[in-house]
């Protein structure tokens, strides 16, 4: 998911709550709440095992699964053995890798505007914005959620792979509509200075104050420092730190060939940082409270 696209999903004109999210969760009003979230489960065995390990070590608090990807059943089996994990759905309309492709969960004849000439999702979110019919998008999002439920997964939330659902108001509205109908919290960001997209977000929805994600501008040798600085500069409120975890092994290298951004080495660096003693110490030193989407789900369901 790309930071610039996340900013498009905002709710700056929502009326103020009488209590902020920290207070609704039982913390002081000025608490620094952080979700450490791993994207892209299901893409590869390497991605899954790195994320499972980080979850079990308490290095991340949440993750999300891409339902069209080949390793979905591995994640479903893990969920059955660990039903308390915080697992959402990374709703997917793109397939970005050069030689490793996937298509829709829904029958291809029902979502033609979402697929390219090879029958797979396009490799860039701009193509989704240009070509996707909102009705096709809605059918595919529902199919992805229904497949998760059929596999015994009870998602804690939904978000969007590569921010494809955040690229234009019609798709945002579809995303919010489907999330509401399935009673699922969804990733939405409150960002001052951005106009409301009239997306259907209500006062009952939990809206994040900020999202942090490493971009291509971060040098490899400054990777850990980027994250340590992000924690040191964390503001009061609710923030999500999005990471992409994996091991830089032959499987991930083959899948992510010729793709440095978010590639195999990138994912190894993210894994190394979030599992490091220095990162854990930074969380403690800066009095960061780790929370889960399950916590937000509980708050959203309160009367």
The full set of domains in the chain, from first to last, is: 3-300 (3.20.20.370)
Is 190 in contact with 11 (CB distance < 8 Å)? yes
Q: Average pLDDT for residues 76-89, to the nearest whole number?
A: 97
* Amino acid 300: pLDDT: 79
pLDDT at 7 over 60: no
Q: What is the DSSP letter of 18?
A: S
* Amino acid 191: pLDDT: 67
Q: Average pLDDT for residues 162-182, to the nearest whole number?
A: 94
Q: How far apart are CA 15 and CA 202, in angstroms?
A: 9
Give residue-wise pLDDT tens across range 216-270. Answer: 999 999 999 999 999 999 999 999 999 999 999 999 999 999 999 999 999 999 9
Q: What tokens does 5 get?
A: 């696209």
What value does the mean pLDDT of the chain take? 91
* Amino acid 193: pLDDT: 33
Give residue-wise pLDDT tens across range 104-139. Answer: 999 999 999 999 999 999 999 999 999 999 999 999
pLDDT at 3 over 50: no
Q: Which of 44, 47, 35, 33 is nearest to 271 (CA)?
A: 47
Give residue-wise pLDDT tens across range 24-79. Answer: 999 999 999 999 999 999 999 999 999 999 999 999 999 999 999 999 999 999 99
CA distances from 191 to 175, 179, 208, 275 (A): 18, 21, 9, 29
pLDDT at 10 over 60: no
* Amino acid 190: pLDDT: 81
pLDDT at 92 over 70: yes
Find where tokens 């790309």 sit. 2
Q: Average pLDDT for residues 8-36, to the nearest whole number?
A: 75
Q: What tokens does 109 get?
A: 């004849």
Dihedral (CA of 57, 58, 60, 62) sign = positive
Q: Kindly report the pTM of this predicted structure.
A: 0.92
The lowest-confidence range among 153-162, 202-211, 227-236 is: 202-211
């Amino acid at each position: 998911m790309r930071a610039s696209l996340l900013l498009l999903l905002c709710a700056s004109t929502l009326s103020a709550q009488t209590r902020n999210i920290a207070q609704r969760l039982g913390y002081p009003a000025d608490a620094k709440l952080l979700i450490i979230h791993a994207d892209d489960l299901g893409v590869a065995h390497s991605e899954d095992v790195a994320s499972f390990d980080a979850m079990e070590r308490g290095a991340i608090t949440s993750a999300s699964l891409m339902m069209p990807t080949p390793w979905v059943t591995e994640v479903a089996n893990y969920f059955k053995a660990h039903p308390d994990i915080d697992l959402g759905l990374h709703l997917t309309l793109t397939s970005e890798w050069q030689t490793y492709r996937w298509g829709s969960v829904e029958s291809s004849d029902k979502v033609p505007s979402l697929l390219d000439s090879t029958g797979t999702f396009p490799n860039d979110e701009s193509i989704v914005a240009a070509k996707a019919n909102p009705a096709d998008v809605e059918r595919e999002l529902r199919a992805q959620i229904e497949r998760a439920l059929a596999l015994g997964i009870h998602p804690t939330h939904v978000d969007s792979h590569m921010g494809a659902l955040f690229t234009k108001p019609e798709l945002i509205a579809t995303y919010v509509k489907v999330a509401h109908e399935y009673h699922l919290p969804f990733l939405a960001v409150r960002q001052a200075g951005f106009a409301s997209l009239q997306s259907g977000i209500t006062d009952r929805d939990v809206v994040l104050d900020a999202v942090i994600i490493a971009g291509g501008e971060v040098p490899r040798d400054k990777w850990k420092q980027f994250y340590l600085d992000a924690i040191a500069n964390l503001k009061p409120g609710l923030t999500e730190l999005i990471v992409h975890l994996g091991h830089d092994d032959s499987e991930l290298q083959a899948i992510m060939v010729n793709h440095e951004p978010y590639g195999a080495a990138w994912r190894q660096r993210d894994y190394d940082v979030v599992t490091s003693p220095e990162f854990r110490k930074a969380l403690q030193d800066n009095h960061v409270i780790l929370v889960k989407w399950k916590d937000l789900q509980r708050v959203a369901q309160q009367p």
